[in-house]
Structure 1
Amino acid sequence: MTAVPEPAVPEPADVTGPASVTGPAVTGRALTGPDDLVELDLVELDLVELDLADEATAVAVHRVGLRSYAVEAALIGSDAIPALHETVADVRALPLRWLGAHMDGVLAGFIAWAHEGDELDVDRLCVDPDHFRRGLGRRLVAAVLAFGAPVTVCTGAANAPAVALYEGVGFTRVGTFEPEPGLVLARFRHPGTR
C-alpha cells in the first residue's frame, strides 16, 4: 500500500457539486416533510483547518463535541460514546487533522480524520445542535471527500440523521459492531474518486 500524501485543506476550486465546501450560497427550498434538511444561506460559513494547540480552539472543539455527542447518545440510547467522557486534554492529544466550520466567527461544527494506509478514517464529525439541519455536516464531509482517497467512518447504528447523511453522499454500510455493551456502531466506506 502507498501512503496518502498529507492533503491540504481544499480550496474552493477543488470541490464541486451540491455539497461544495464554498461557492454560491445554498438558497433554500420548501419543506415537503418533517425529515427534510433545512438548507439555509451558508454565505457566512468559513471552513478552516483547526490548531488544537490553541487553548481557545481546543475548548471550543470540546464544547461542540460534547453537545453533539449528547444528542447522539439520546438518539442511540447509550452514553457509552467514548468522546462524551473526554477532557480537553484528551481531545488535544488525538493524532488527527481537524477542519472547523465557523458561522459568524463561532465554531459551529468540525470534522477530524487520520490516515489509515491509503485511506482516510473520519474519527469524528460534530455539529453544534444550534446548527443542526443546515447542511454543515454534509459540507464538512464533502471537504474530506474532496481529497479523493477512500474514506471510512463509524457512527451509532441507530443515529438515523448521521446514517442518512453518509448514505446520501455515497457511503456504503460495510458492517456493524459493538465496541462497548449497548453501543452499536455502523461502519461506512466511501470508495473515493482516485
Structure 2
Amino acid sequence: MIVHLDHTDPGTAAKLLKVQIPAYRMEAELIKFDGIPPLHDTVRTIQGSRESFLGHLENERLLGALAYEQTNDHYVLSRLFVGPAYFRQGVASSLLQFFLNHVVRESKPVTVTTGTANLPAISFYEKWGFTKIKEITVEQGISLTMLQTIH
C-alpha cells in the first residue's frame, strides 16, 4: 500500500532513515562515492525537509519511499529508495507508478538525478519513460545523470 508520510514526525523520520541509509549505502558502493547527501541525513534533517514523502507499507513495515518537490512548472523526484531486502520485488515501481498517476498533475516535466555509474537505476527510469538530458560532474571520476519525462 502506498501512503503519504508525515516526515516531520520523529518516529516516521526514524523509519525513513532505517530504510534510506542501507539503500543509499548500496548505491554509494556501486558508484564508488560516499558523498550522496541522503547518506548523511539525520532524523532532524528528514523532519526539516521541504520534500513530500510517499511510503510503500506492507503490514505496517516501510519497504521503500519516494520523495519529491513540486514547483509551478515541474516536479523533482529527489529520492527513491527501497530497503535492500526488498530489491527487485516491485517496490520502486509501485512507488513511481503511484507518484506518476496520482501526484503529477497536468503535463509537467519530472526530473530525477542518479549516479551515472548506477546503471540499474538509469535503466529503471528509462523503462518508465525518462530520457537522459544531461550529465553533471560532481568531482573527478564521479558524475550524475539527470533524466526527465513529461507525464
TM-score, normalised to structure 1, is 0.72
Q: By how many angstroms is 1:108 displaced?
A: 0.4
Q: Does 1:170 align with 2:129?
A: yes
Which residue of 2 is the match for residue 66 of structure 1? 21
Counterpart residue number, 1:36 = none
Q: Deviations over 1:37-65 (max 9, x none)?
A: xxxxxxxxx10000012221110101111
- Alignment match, 1:136: 91
The residue aligned with 1:189 is 148
Larger proportion of strand: 2
**Quick check: which one's helix share is greater?**
2
Residue 178 of structure 1 deviates from its aligned partner by 2.1
Could you report, residue by residue, the CA deviation over 1:103-130 in whole angstroms, capped at 9, with x for unpaired residues? Answer: 2210000000001331110110010001
Quote the RMSD (CA, aligned, Å): 1.3
- Equivalent AA in structure 2 for residue 54 of structure 1: D
In the TM superposition, what are the counterparts of 1:80-95 in structure 2 within 5 Å? 80-95=35-50
Unpaired segments of 5 or more residues in structure 2? none
Q: Does 1:103 align with 2:62?
A: no
Deviates more, 1:147-156 or 1:96-105: 147-156
**1:90 aligns to what SS in structure 2?**
helix
Report deviation, 1:180. 4.4
Q: Offset of 1:181 from its aligned partner?
A: 4.8
1:56 aligned residue: 11
- Greater C-alpha radius of gyration: 1
Q: Which residue of 1 aligns with 2:80?
A: 125
CA deviations over 1:121-179 (Å, ceiling 9, x no partner): 01100100010001111111112211243210001111111111100010001011023
Change in CA separation of 1:181 and 1:88 when aligned onto 2, cut-off 3 Å: farther
Contact 1:80–1:183 (8 Å) recurs in 2: no
Q: How many residues align?
A: 147
TM-score (norm 2): 0.92
Partners of 1:176 and 1:120 in 2: CA distance? 19
CA distance in 2, matches of 1:166, 1:186: 11
In percent, how many aligned pairs have the same letter? 35
Which consecutive residues of structure 1, in runs of 5 or more, have no partner in the other structure? 1-45
